[in-house]
Every structure is written in structure tokens, then in C-alpha cells.
Homo-oligomer: A and B are copies of this chain.
Amino acid sequence: MKIEAVDFFYLSMPVVTDAGDGSQDALLVRVAAGGLVGWGECEASPLTSIAAYVAPMSHGACRPVRDVVLGKPVGGPDDIAALAAAVELECMDLLQAAHTFSGIEMALWDLLGRKREIPVYELLGYPRAYPKLPYASQLFGDTPAETLAGCRSARERGFRAVKCGWGPFGRGTLSEDRDHLQAAREGLGPDGTLLIDAGQIFREDVDAAAARIGMLEEVDTTWFEEPFLGGAYDAYAALAARSGKVRLAGGEASHNFHMARQLIDYGKVAFIQIDCGRIGGLAPAKRVADYAAARGVTYVNHTFTSHLALCASLQPYAGLERDVICEYPFAPKAVAWDMSLTHLAPDANGEVVLPSAPGLGIEMNPAGMAKYLVDVEISAKGELLYRTPAL
């Protein structure tokens, strides 16, 4: 079968705020081939990613993703790999292409799983999916009292792990950061797994990040995430040498396998966090999972959006029994919830398990999407290149 159609749907909440909440909009991809459809999601700026799909060619190594993808065969995993390699070469100078292709690649795995009637994790080589321990991923409150309330709420809903990130952390005094951290631990309780995300706030300033290590240790922080710019591997390595029991995490910005590998090799992170909606889809993510496993580094999904993205992001390490932590969209906006009928709820044990259903195992909800569908029109050189398609 060949790729017959690729359609992008830009969904958005009516109001988008400048909070660090990635679930306020979404870019869905629907791929059709051989009478089947698959769904994927780009974790990316929707309008920019659509433009990367339809933009006029600039030269042979700066083609729009559409030109590389449409009409190509998709009979098995090798075809997906060939397509990814073609995008790397033919869209070499189109930076956004990695984000655009990520959702397409995801949808191709979904479609292939549906065709063969097996879960994607089996296509990726895992005989079964192990349960994962979801952490409630949330932002620090504006005040320590809000941070405490957020963590307590997560605990009351059954989450044994919580991540607090962004917000005021790293922007004020050391004492203010300590207050937030202690509030987070108090809300979560003494036995919960506490994860802290700095959101790159220290850029390349190792001393500023190191000044927080003591207070992170006091509250028994399992990982300290993204203290620095995604590419500042030397800063990561310098902090890793000074961070004691607190281990570093990062990698969500990786837009190819190599960036994740280098954060492991040169940045010395102990947890590698991969967003399948950015790294080029599931195959490069699986390659990172294999690489990390061989080096004693723990793989973790990065997912702050929908349950489609969640079902996709768990596939690349579904079969790794020891990598148990998973990011879980704790309080997604309605757009991220309503787009699918399937949701992965934690079980009585507080764990989530991928469905053993074909493909990504998720049933989408076109009526739910329709409420948030954004009208977009792009034209250039006298040609209408994109208009929001019918669901």
C-alpha cells in the first residue's frame, strides 16, 4: 500500500495563555493508505509545522515534507525507515521538518499496526508492554501554598510520583526556590517520587544550577530536569559531576537520534526524555531506548499533551521492564482530552499499561476534535497550499 493522503488538523483552545502548558493546542496528522487510516501528533507549533509540509521547494535538499512522503510505499517498518532517511536528506535544510514528520511517522506506525492487527510495540520488537508508574506532570504554583496544593491534589488522585516545573523556579532567590521544593515534598508526602524540572532557566550557568543541588537533595529529588539549554552538553556534564544523589534528566528537545545520544554520552544525564512528536517519531525513539538501555540510562517519555501522544510515547519503551517512570498529562486542557475516546487511566495500583489493541491502541474522536478545529489558509506563488481539511 502507498501513502494516499496526509491531512493536518490544527486544534486549539479558544484562549491560549503564556503558561508553560503544552496542552493548549495540538497538531494532529491523519494518514490514509490501503483503505486504512492512522493518527499521529506533532508536539510543535501547528501553523509552522503545516507550512513545512506545504512550502514551495527551495532546492533539492530543502523540499517540503509533502514532496517526500506522498505516494511512498508503507508495507512495513523498513518502508518507514526509508521514508525517514529520505526526509533527513531531502529536507536537510528545512529545520521544522523533523517536527512535521514526527506526527506522520507516528501515524504510519498506527496504520501499520492496524493493518497487521497488532500493537505498535510488537512491531517495534517487544513481546509485551509492562506497566509504567505515571507521574503527575504539573507546573510550580505562583506561591509555595499553590505548589503544595497541586502536589497534594495529585497524591489524593492516586499518583505516587509528581513532577513540578517551570513557573517561578530559578527566577527568584534561593530561599524562594527552597520554599517551593519543600512545599512540593510536603504535598506529595514523604514516600512519593519527586521530580523537578527547571525548564532551561539557567541556560549555561552551572554555578546557578549547582546552588540548588543541596535543597534538591534535602527533599529527596529523584531527578533534576533541563537545568540548561538543550544543547549545552558541557554544562550538563559539569553539573552531573557535582549533583551527588540528584541525577540529571533531559532530552525533550532532541529532534533526531543523535542529539539524544549525545546528551547521554557527553551530557551524562541519567534519564533521557524523548518526545516522539519531535524526535522524528517512534523509530528514532526506540533507537534511543535501545542505546540508553545498553548504557544504564533510564528512558522516559516526554508527554504534556494528549492521550494520543501518551499512547504513542509509551510504545518505544513499552517492553523495558526496568524503565518504569512515565510522564502523564495530569491536567490537560479540554482540547487534549476531547480529541480521543480512549484514555489511559491509572489502575488501582496507580500504574498505566498500554492497550494491547492494534496500532497505537487509541480511538480518536472526530466530533471532539471539531470543537477546537482552527481555520487556516496558506497560499503562495498564486496557489492555495493548505486549507483546513474536513475531519
Contacts and interface: CB of A to CB of B under 8 A. Distances in A.
Contacts of A201: 89
16 contacts: A18-B59, A18-B63, A44-B94, A47-B55, A47-B380, A50-B51, A51-B51, A85-B203, A88-B203, A89-B200, A95-B255, A95-B278, A231-B258, A233-B262, A234-B265, A375-B381
Interface string A235-279: 000000000000000000101101101100110000000000010
A56 interface: yes
Nearest to A252: B93
A282 interface: no
Contacts of A94: 44-45, 48
A19 B60 CA distance: 5
A22 B57 contact: no
Copy number in this complex?
2
A326 interface: no
Contact of A93 (B17, B43, B166): B43
Contacts of A50: 51
Interface in A218-244: 229-234
Given A95-B98, A378-B378, A380-B47, A58 B24 contact: yes
Contact of A20 (B61, B96, B261): B61
Contact of A18 (B57, B253, B377): B57
Contacts of A64: 45
Contacts of A131: none
A255 to B, nearest CB: 6
A262 B10 CA distance: 36
Interface in A55-81: 55-64
Interface string A300-315: 0000000000000000
A378 B46 CA distance: 13
Nearest to A22: B59
A258 to B, nearest CB: 3
Contact of A16 (B59, B88, B199): B59
Nearest to A383: B375
A161 to B, nearest CB: 23
A389 to B, nearest CB: 14
Contact of A377 (B22, B55, B99, B379): B379
A137 to B, nearest CB: 13
A94 to B, nearest CB: 5
Nearest to A235: B258
